Structure 1
Amino acid sequence: MSPLDLLDLGLVGLRTRPARAALSALGIAIGIATMIVVTGIPASSQAALVTKLSALGTNTLQAMAVPDMDPPAALPESAVEMVRRIGPVTAGSAVANTHAFVRRNDRLDANNAAGLTVLATRLDLLPTINARVRSGSWLTPATERFPAVVLGSVAANRLGVTDLPPGTPAPQVVIADRAFTVVGILATTPLTPDIDRSVLVGWPVAKSELGFDGHPTVLYVQAEEARIEAVRGVLAETISPERPGAVTVTRPSDALAAKRATERSFSVLFLALAGVALVVGGIGVANTMVVSVLERRSEIGLRRALGATRGQIRGQFLTESVVLATAGGLIGTALGLLATAGYASWQDWPVVLPARSAALGVGGAIVIGVLAGVYPCVRAARLTPTQALATV
């Protein structure tokens, strides 16, 4: 028999009993759809959780000079450029304390800084610390050379500059007896609360107007998350090869450990749920095929009496089992993917369609069809024409 003849013969039972075939395929489809859903929805939930954990700085390190050393330690002016040469490092920036005082106007006490720090900053600071501008704009290659400042969220409140409406004159603050124009206000930066309490000026203007010596105070480094510990291990030696002990580096955020634990927990959960769903689907197919053999003993006996071999009988029922399971797998995979996408969109999560689970759904359905059809097809092939026709 050709493969097409075998397929046509295997579809006989499905065509003659469409209701049973539909219900059996539906049972398989529900099992496969359940597998897709119980892997896809947690995967979307995991993606949302991982995104939130990543926002907590799982790939960020900070480096600074150890305080109270003798002689005093200072980070080299080229520290940022040296750090960027480390392979896994993806971004690096720095700020420096100018030790200047900031006032709302020149009528206030020059020594009253309101607990605020004036920091010299590099233009690439915002993406490195995942910060954003709430009002106004960030420093540019032009404004960083002139007396312009960007206020942290807390600094803006303390200085009474809470908004920068377009089309209105920009307010000014006084730093070291020099008026600086406020060009922007930052949103709250949870990763770097020190920035919230700071007044940020350009690196060049800090040197020309505030007596800044060019040595950074704090380095912010982003690196590939999987290699963050390796980067931390060489960061001090890279920044200060002569005195690595004078550099202290923060350890990775606790959120990184939580993120990795979450990924491991979800992986175990996915495997367990997928296994249960496949077993349930396999039992349904096997039950359907066993019943089909029992009900079609007369058909088996008649075909055997007309010369059908045991191999042909096995092929007929095995094909029927595989077709039934494959149809259910395709339908279940489609339903599972649609349900996953719909629920994730409703929850405002990233839509994660598990391609591996979809492939496993279809492939698993075929394997289920083969395994579940082995016993029924062998049992059918063992029936002699006399045994089969005895029930007629």
Structure 2
Amino acid sequence: MTAVRQAPRPARMWPGDVVRVGAVGLRTRPLRAFLSALGIAIGIAAMVGVVGISSSSGADLDRTLAALGTNLLTVEPGTTMTGERARLPTEAEAMVGRIRPVRTVSAVGLVEDAKVYRHGRIPETETRGLATYAARTSLPDATGARIRSGTWLNEATARHPAVVLGASAAERLGVGRAGPDVRVLVGGRWFTVVGVLEPAPLAPELDNAALVGWPAAEAELNFDGHPTKVYTRSDEGDVEQVSGVLGATANPESPNEVEVSRPSDALAAKQAAGEAFTNLLLGLGAVALLVGGVGVANTMVISVLERRSEIGLRRALGATRGQVRTQFLAESLLLSALGGTGGAALGAAVTAGYAVAQGWPVVVPAWAVFGGVAATLAIGAVAGLYPAVRASRLSPTEALATP
């Protein structure tokens, strides 16, 4: 009885063998592999960069809020029953200061018709959107405003023609620094610029303001003494309690004509708007990543067509369909991994460069980097699946017969 001779089993491919075989196509066609990986890299770099820059911006905002505090509440006059602009009582600041949890209170008052000019030769209509406010000496403590040049008003300078300019006001007036020889016209009178402020995130109305002392405004500019905005600071745990009684305390006769706000909420809303914009950019990055995946699929299909003879020779030498399929799938994954790794590194570098240029803390979320690389591998697997299956289905005789 003749024994049936079994065909030898094909050699097993270890992970190292899979990587070496899969890299053959990348080594033999480096330019095509680079261009395909570049498409993937652009998509990943866009996604990582968008998430990183958004996170860095958010971290800077959180740092700013932590430094300035989120316990600032403001009181402003609203509108009357007839639709006219209401007025806060002259005693509003003092009454608000009597609220037990309030730690700091200050105020500004708009000085009507006190226009600000660099010199007397400027036409009266060119006001540049600047306003004059009477200001308390305690204003920086309440608002977190900081001096960029010079000093803030004190008990002495608040009684004399001295002015502190907001950041935007100084820029529009062409005042780069404070000094005894720097003067501006306020309400037709010369005031010496004793200070220039940094931008005030929690009190943006100060940026376009010329701030004079409360006594000087009353004596020199006919200020009527009515505050137009009162600023209060209280303990973080008491903010809601203070907010509930602030309006009625500031204007007991007409509490419905008072507006109470929390400036930090505006910054939080701004951050939320920025996150919505980030989601839009992430969508665009995903589209770029999808386009890169299509490029990888196209490259792999062409690679299968060009390497039919190689596939046929491998099959004739004993390679199984699974091994051929694994080879081309590994090539697609390697191509995507190169693009994903390079794109993640590029996105992180762009984030770091932009954040440093803006003075922000550098924040690159790990989930964005690893998630981006994982997404490229998933796209590479999907993009390479069809070409790999197609290659594995070629019979040795059909593939070797291809010229």
What range describes the TM-score normalised by the shorter chain of this pair?
0.5 to 0.7
Instruction: Give the counterpart of 2:395 among 384, 388, 392.
Output: 384
Residue 82 (1) aligns with residue 101 (2): yes
- Please tell me whether residue 308 in structure 1 is matched to residue 319 in structure 2: yes
User: How many equivalent pairs are there?
Assistant: 312
Trace 1:168-247 onto structure 2 (pairs within 5 A). 185-187=194-196, 190-192=204-206, 196-199=211-214, 219-221=230-232, 231=239, 235-237=243-245
* Alpha-carbon distance in structure 2 between the residues aligned to 1:135 and 1:152: 17
TM-superposition CA deviations, 1:141-163 (whole Å, max 9, x none): xxxxxxx4453997448xxxx74
> Which residue is 1:4 aligned to?
16
**What does 1:1-392 correspond to in 2, within 5 Å?**
1-36=13-48, 39=50, 43=54, 60-63=72-75, 75=95, 77-79=97-99, 82-83=101-102, 92-94=104-106, 119=136, 122=138, 125-133=139-147, 134-136=149-151, 148-149=155-156, 151=158, 155-156=162-163, 163=179, 185-187=194-196, 190-192=204-206, 196-199=211-214, 219-221=230-232, 231=239, 235-237=243-245, 248-252=258-262, 256=267, 259=270, 262-339=273-350, 341-342=352-353, 348=358, 350=360, 354-355=364-365, 357-391=368-402
Q: 1: distance between equivalents of 2:347 and 2:276?
A: 22
- With structure 2 as the length reference, what TM-score do the two structures score? 0.58
Q: Tell me how far 1:275 sits from its aligned partner.
A: 1.5
Distance in 1 (CA, whole Å) between partners of 2:160 and 2:320 is 84
- Give the distance between the partners of 2:305 and 2:281, measured in 1 at CA: 37
Q: Taking structure 1 as reference, are residues 265 and 349 closer, same or farther at Cα in structure 2, changes over 3 Å only?
A: farther
| Distance of aligned partners of 1:152 and 1:62 in 2 relative to their CA distance in 1, 3 Å threshold | farther
Deviation at 1:375, TM superposition (A): 0.8
Determine the C-alpha separation between the residues in 2 that align with 1:294 and 1:314. Answer: 14
CA offsets, 1:152-177, max 9 Å, x none? 997448xxxx7469xxxxxxxxxxxx
Distance 1:387 1:73, change over 3 A: closer
Q: Distance in 1 between matches of 2:133 and 2:301?
A: 80
Contact 1:46 1:262 in 2 (8 A): no
Q: Is the 8 A contact 2:297 2:383 kept in 1?
A: yes
Q: State the Cα distance separating 1:289 from its structure 2 match.
A: 0.7
Which structure 2 residue ranges, 5 or more long, are not aligned?
1-12, 78-85, 110-131, 165-177, 182-192, 217-226
Taking the aligned partners of 1:318 and 1:153, their CA distance within structure 2 comes to 81
What amino acid is aligned across from residue 366 of structure 1 in structure 2?
L
RMSD (Å) for aligned C-alpha atoms:
5.2
Give the TM-score taking structure 1 as reference length: 0.59
Q: Secondary structure at the match of 1:197?
A: strand
Shift of 1:290: 0.8
State the SS of the aligned residue for 2:74. Answer: strand
Q: Percent identity?
A: 42
Deviation readout 1:184-222 (Å, 9 max, x if unpaired): 944357535899232489xxxxxxxxxxxxxx9975246
With over 3 angstroms needed to count, the CA separation of the structure-2 counterparts of 1:353 and 1:293, relative to structure 1, is farther
Q: Which moved more, 1:286-295 or 1:125-134?
A: 125-134
Greater displacement, 264-273 / 314-323: 264-273
Query: Quick one: which amino acid aligns to residue 63 of structure 1?
Result: V
